[in-house]
Amino acid sequence: EPLLLCKDIEAKVVENDKAILKGLDLEVRPGEVHAIMGPNGSGKSTLSKVLARHPAYEATNGIATLEGEDLLELEAQDAAQKGVFLAFQYPVELPGVGNTDFLRLMLNAKRKANGEAELDPLEFLGVAMEKCKIVEMNPDFLQRNVNEGFSGGEKKRNEILQMAMLEPKLAILDETDSGLDIDALRTISEGINRLKRDDNAFVVITHYQRLLDYVKPDFVHIMRDGRIVKTGGPELALELEAKGYVDEVLNG
């Protein structure tokens, strides 16, 4: 059974009815890494937001299921609790909100929704320290406010920490590699690779082939004008890098 199944999704911006996704198909199986590439404005971020159930976007046609369950019926919080995680291109700062409290709230909300016991602060700290190790994050960051004064690379790493805590089934990373230097990129990629299991999956949206040197995709998809117009293996990303989004690549 696919982990994520998208069939013929059409979606629009609620505020102005602008149609953005125009018949998108995508199937992601457990254990897979999918890369989505495509020119600016092709709808990559919209796809990620529709799947994470961002209220600014509405699916007007098609289906999306997570382990067979209708995703498009869910609100954002429920989608998150059922295992969809979206890492944003620009992580928000939450001044005055401690990272530890934030992570514990997120994790306990998820545990509660799944009928698991909530963790008390001490239990939580044990888990958090463990996860910091996995993503090679200095545990001092737990004491800081969420993303406040974090460098670009530290924010990305903090997101990988959030992901490590929540153990999502489907993690969507929307250009989480943009603006990172090569060391930060390597650390983030290693974090992703350590969190990969045969029962979860990653959808990585990126403009750059270089991330895919570290996080090996099983499939590379090209999006254009609200659809996936071509699917291939890692070699497709190399071809794109060499030639750009020319018809030869898109249609060949």
C-alpha span between 2 and 25 (Å, rounded): 13
C-alpha span between 13 and 32 (Å, rounded): 29
Among Mg ion, ligand ADP, none, partner that 42 touches (CB below 5 to 8 angstroms by kind): ligand ADP
Site string for ligand ADP, 53-92 (x = CB under 6 A): ---x------------------------------------
Among ligand ADP, Mg ion, none, partner that 8 touches (CB below 5 to 8 angstroms by kind): Mg ion
Nearest distance, CB of residue 33 and ligand ADP, angstroms: 19
Q: Is 190 in the site for Mg ion (CB under 5 A)?
A: no
One residue of 40, 182, 198, 235 binding ligand ADP per CB under 6 A: 40
C-alpha span between 117 and 122 (Å, rounded): 14
Q: Which residue, 8 or 167, is less far from Mg ion as judged by CB?
A: 8
One residue of 34, 43, 155, 165 binding ligand ADP per CB under 6 A: 43
Spacing of C-alpha 88 from chain mean position? 7
How many other CB atoms sit within 10 Å of the CB of residue 149? 10
Stretch that binds ligand ADP, among 44-52, 94-102, 121-129, 193-201 (CB under 6 A): 44-52
Nearest distance, CB of residue 64 and Mg ion, angstroms: 13
Stretch that binds ligand ADP, among 10-18, 76-84, 158-166, 191-199 (CB under 6 A): 10-18
Q: Which residue, 41 or 139, is less far from ligand ADP as judged by CB?
A: 41
CA torsion angle for 35, 36, 40, 43 (degrees, to 10)? -150
Nearest distance, CB of residue 94 and Mg ion, angstroms: 22
Among ligand ADP, Mg ion, none, partner that 13 touches (CB below 5 to 8 angstroms by kind): ligand ADP
Q: Is 51 in the site for ligand ADP (CB under 6 A)?
A: no
- Could you list the residues that contact ligand ADP (CB under 6 A)? 13, 16, 18, 20, 38, 40-46, 56
> Interface with Mg ion by CB under 5 A: which residues?
8, 44-45, 61
